[in-house]
Amino acid sequence: MPRINYRTKQRDFLLDFAKSTVGKHFTVEDVKAYCESKNICMGTATIYRSLEKMIQDHIINRYYLDEKTGACFEYVGEEDGSTSNHFHLKCESCGKLIHLECHDLEIIKSHLLKNHGFYLDSFKTIFYGICKECQNNE
């Protein structure tokens, strides 16, 4: 596959949209809807191919949720790779994505590395569960 990224209208557009969703996630369906609302034509294949490249460039992260059909994407381009104590919590009830800065959770990384030889990628990993608000509502 090609390695070079040409700068195109579509790529710029998609990148702008992704940036506008910081702290949330979006789906391919969301991109399509946004394109339609802006009267911009972008083929489905292009969306998938562009997203795929951005994933490989670590600009975007992809993950799958249980409730939804289809993949979810999240913009992570501006995050500092050295902040290894940034974690993502995803509420399975309300869908909210929580960005958590917590030094204590460093113990997870070191424990996994020392005791199990596993280097944790805290950017990619998403902790699923139930947030405080949703616990109270139940």
Partner DNA sequence: TTGCGTGCAAAGGTTTTGCATGGCA
Partner DNA sequence: TGCCATGCAAAACCTTTGCACGCAA
x/- site string to DNA, residues 19 to 58, per CB under 7 A? --------xxx-----------xxxxxx-xxx-xx-----
Give the separation between CA 95 and CA 120, rounded to whole angstroms.
24
CB-based burial label for 84 (10 Å; 0-12, 13-18, 19+): middle
Residue ranges with strand state E in 22-93: 60-64, 71-75, 86-91
What radius of gyration, in Å, describes the C-alpha atoms of the chain? 17
For the bound state, the minimum distance from the C-beta of residue 64 to DNA, rounded and expressed in Å, comes to 8
51 binding a second copy? (CB under 8 A): no
Interface residue with a second copy, options 78, 80, 82, 121 (CB under 8 A):
121
Give the separation between CA 13 and CA 15, rounded to whole angstroms.
5
For the bound state, the minimum distance from the C-beta of residue 133 to a second copy, rounded and expressed in Å, comes to 8
For the bound state, the minimum distance from the C-beta of residue 68 to a second copy, rounded and expressed in Å, comes to 9
Which positions lie near DNA, rule CB under 7 A? 2, 4-11, 27-29, 41-46, 48-50, 52-53, 68-71
